[in-house]
Amino acid sequence: MEHQIVQDASIAEVPVAGPTITARDVNVFYGEKQALFDVSVDINRNSVTSFIGPSGCGKSTFLRCINRMNDTIPICRVTGDIRLDGENIYDTDLDVVELRARVGMVFQKPNPFPKSIYENVAYGPRIHGLTRSKKELDELVESCLEKAGLLKEVHDRLDEPGTGLSGGQQQRLCIARAIATRPEVILMDEPCSALDPIATAKVEELMDELKANYTIIIVTHSMQQAARVSQRTAFFHLGKLVEVGDTRQIFTNPRNKRTQDYITGRFG
């Protein structure tokens, strides 16, 4: 298992901060319509990067390029170059299934499978054969639920359906499910937009803990959230990457006029 080795290596070099993902001149087309224009950005390892911008600015589209989720849309076409640890993810030699195991994703609306809580988390390890015994799988499920801060709430009802949990719990279950495949990167597409403030706070706390081991990219509509959780922020507008930099700098001293207008609430 090649990606296993890569992943172990990434854990070994935890403190080293360098770009895991480098994107150059990425263009995305939906049929005739161009949704992204020449996006180039570096995503740092073991940190949280947030993508902000008004609706329809292309931030989710770009996020979905990183695990090639756009492949599921027949009319979507991607050009340019995105590298994960130096490897071109749009290379024909690269197996998209393997890529998605390395780049996990959490969606806007919690989408647990209509299975038990246990089965939801065990899904990824099972299909990738990550564990050798039932006991190992049990331990993995438990540790993932623990990392997602959900174990305490659900430890006595792992057999109950995941769809029966509250919205916030469901979203943390989806995070547990994502980290169970031992990814290097976790993509979060507005993970808190369907949650109340308390559940949101829990998920944000979780991101803060997870960034020690994972590279996290979050798309958010809430600028406060971007400011709270991320180290770097990228501002998208009309399909273009307008500005990217340290979160503190973006929010206190934006270089671009449009960024300033957006974060001060003058449009969007």
Partner 1 sequence: MKYSAIVLAVLVVAAIAFVVAIARARAAQQGGSVKMHSRIGYYGWYAAIWTLLPALFLVFVWVVVEPIGLSRLIRAELPDNFHTLNAAQRSLIVGQIETISEGLSLLDPAGLDTLKKARLGFKPMSEAQQVLKDQGIVLGSAPEGYAVTAAVKLRDAREWSRMILAGLVGLVVLAGFAYSISSIRPRLRARNFVERVTLGGLIAASLVAILTTLGIVLSVLFETIHFFKLVSLSNFFLGTVWDPRFSAAGSGGAEGQFGLLPLLWGTLFISFVALAVAVPVGLFAAIYMSEYASQRVRNFAKPALEVLAGIPTIVYGFFALITFGPMLRDLGAMVGLNIAATSVLSAGIVMGVMIIPFVSSLSDDIISAVPQSLREGSYGLGATQSETIKRVIVPAALPGIVGAILLAASRAIGETMIVVLAAGIAANLTLNPFEPVTTITVKIVSQLTGDLEFDSPQTLVAFALGLTLFIITLALNVYALYIVRKYREQYE
- Which positions touch partner 1 (CB under 8 A)? 67, 69, 72, 74, 97-102, 104-105, 107, 109, 111-115, 123-124, 127-128, 163, 174, 177-178, 181
Query: In the complex with partner 1, which residue's Cβ is closer, 37 or 113?
Result: 113
Nearest approach in angstroms of CB 109 to partner 1 is: 6
Nearest approach in angstroms of CB 224 to partner 1 is: 26
Query: In the complex with partner 1, which residue's Cβ is closer, 115 or 240?
Result: 115
Nearest approach in angstroms of CB 207 to partner 1 is: 17
Nearest approach in angstroms of CB 216 to partner 1 is: 14
Query: In the complex with partner 1, which residue's Cβ is closer, 98 or 146?
Result: 98
Nearest approach in angstroms of CB 96 to partner 1 is: 9
Query: In the complex with partner 1, which residue's Cβ is closer, 101 or 227?
Result: 101
Q: What is the Cα Rg of the chain in Å?
A: 18
Cα separation of 180 and 109, whole Å? 19
Cα separation of 71 and 211, whole Å? 27
Nearest approach in angstroms of CB 202 to partner 1 is: 20
CA-based nearest residue to 108, from 24, 174, 44: 174
Q: Give the list of residues 6+ apart from residue 91 with CB closer than 8 angstroms, or none.
A: none
Query: In the complex with partner 1, which residue's Cβ is closer, 94 or 201?
Result: 94
The answer to whether the beta carbons of residues 87 and 96 sit under 8 Å apart is no
Query: In the complex with partner 1, which residue's Cβ is closer, 23 or 69?
Result: 69
Query: In the complex with partner 1, which residue's Cβ is closer, 182 or 237?
Result: 182
Residue 190 tokens, joined: 């507005």
Nearest approach in angstroms of CB 181 to partner 1 is: 5
